[in-house]
Amino acid sequence: MRASVIVVNWNAGAALLDCLTSIAAGGDSTETILVDNASTDGSTAAARARYPEVQVVETGGNLGFAAGANRGASAAGGEFLVFLNPDARVEPGAIARLVDALAATPGAGIAGGGLVDAAGRWQPGAARFHPVAHLLLDTTPGRLASRGRRAPHVVDWVYGTFIAVRRDAFRQLGGFDESYFLYGEDLDLCHRALDLGLRTIHVPGARAIHGANVSATQRFGLGREAAVVKGEMRFYARRGGAGQLGLFRAVGACKFGTKAALATVLGRWQTAAACARVTRACLAGGSAE
């Protein structure tokens, strides 16, 4: 079997059925594994009823994405492991294009797909390792050039929204680091892959439509961006070079503090509140534990 698609679900609601429908309609020869992190909204039961061929792995609790993804990978039989968020839908042929690009790129162990929102607008799918480059260049102006890229290309790391990993590489890496509950595990995986001499590529032509962050919004609300930053600070605390966590905290606090102030002046209260939470997270610091 060439590819196994792994979807980790926690209360994704109707978005989960849309996700599974897109996989089934994609025309790709795959197996699909649904990992349920103790959902209580009936989404996994509905998925079972509509797609009985999908293998369901029950974790018995909300283990987070990294641990849930590892459980799904353990049950998978494919040569390539494709992880897809339950709030994302793949375009027809996208899984095959992502896997084919990974297979055709010498030295590559990980590939991330292109992302668009529900209206078809471009979304970022890759980022940089260095904390200053990440905070200041992985922004709308800093990504203008990457919007026009169509061919697969090497990047530092890709978002885990829609990502393929060679099975042998995933085993060699020991899977996702389960100390990350949600956010930061994709950054960490790509960094460890690079340490092993494996490259990460971005494949814009293998597209997924990424909707609202259903599960994350339920869990974090206005604190979702702060949760993202906390995951990244965990990475810099554990894997970054000397001083990288401090650099990330200082630049991050300045960046999001400024954004919070501007949003307040403009009356964008939710944006101001979200950015203020990120600022407080940066000032509080990160932990490797």
Domain boundary among 153, 186, 212: 212
Give residue-wise pLDDT tens across range 78-98: 999 999 999 999 999 999 999
Q: Are residues 122 and 260 in the same domain?
A: no
**Is there a domain that residue 217 lies in?**
no
Structural domain for 208, as ranges: 3-212
**Is there a domain that residue 289 lies in?**
no
**Is there a domain that residue 258 lies in?**
yes
CB 147: neighbour CB atoms within 10 A? 10
pLDDT at 157: 98
Residue 54 in this model has a pLDDT that exceeds 60:
yes
Q: Are residues 192 and 226 in the same domain?
A: no
Q: Are residues 130 and 94 in the same domain?
A: yes
DSSP tag of 78: -
What angle do helix axes 244-265 and 269-284 make, rounded to 10 degrees?
160
| Mean per-residue pLDDT, 153-170 | 97
CA dist., res. 183 & res. 97, Å (int) = 25
Q: Are residues 49 and 182 in the same domain?
A: yes
Q: Are residues 133 and 179 in the same domain?
A: yes
**Is there a domain that residue 143 lies in?**
yes
Q: Are residues 267 and 145 in the same domain?
A: no
CB 145: neighbour CB atoms within 10 A? 7
Q: Are residues 13 and 145 in the same domain?
A: yes
Residue 215 in this model has a pLDDT that exceeds 60:
no
| Mean per-residue pLDDT, 34-56 | 96
CA dist., res. 208 & res. 230, Å (int) = 26
pLDDT at 220: 57
**Is there a domain that residue 267 lies in?**
yes
Q: Are residues 92 and 150 in the same domain?
A: yes
Give residue-wise pLDDT tens across range 242-260: 799 999 999 999 999 999 9
pLDDT at 26: 80
Which range is least confidently modeled, 17-21, 51-55, 141-145?
141-145
CA atoms within 13 A on the CB side of 40: 3
pLDDT at 12: 93
For 135-184, the three-class secondary structure string (H helix, E strand, C coil) is HHHCCCHHHHHHHCCCCCEEECEECCCEEEEEHHHHHHHCCCCCCCCCCC
**1 or 257, which is more confident?**
257
CATH classification at residue 39? 3.90.550.10
pLDDT at 279: 96
Residue 34 in this model has a pLDDT that exceeds 80:
yes
Residue 221 in this model has a pLDDT that exceeds 70:
no
Q: Are residues 168 and 240 in the same domain?
A: no
> Which one, of 22, 2, 135, 143, lies nearest residue 77 by Cα?
2
Number of domains in the chain: 2
Domain boundary among 193, 212, 231: 212
DSSP tag of 197: T
Q: Are residues 35 and 173 in the same domain?
A: yes
**Is there a domain that residue 104 lies in?**
yes
Q: Are residues 15 and 106 in the same domain?
A: yes
| Mean per-residue pLDDT, 73-80 | 96
In the chain, % of residues over pLDDT 70 = 94
Confidence of residue 274 (pLDDT cuts 50, 70, 90): very high
CA dist., res. 60 & res. 176, Å (int) = 19
**Is there a domain that residue 168 lies in?**
yes
pLDDT at 42: 95
Q: Are residues 178 and 70 in the same domain?
A: yes
Round the average pLDDT of the chain to a whole number and report it.
Answer: 92
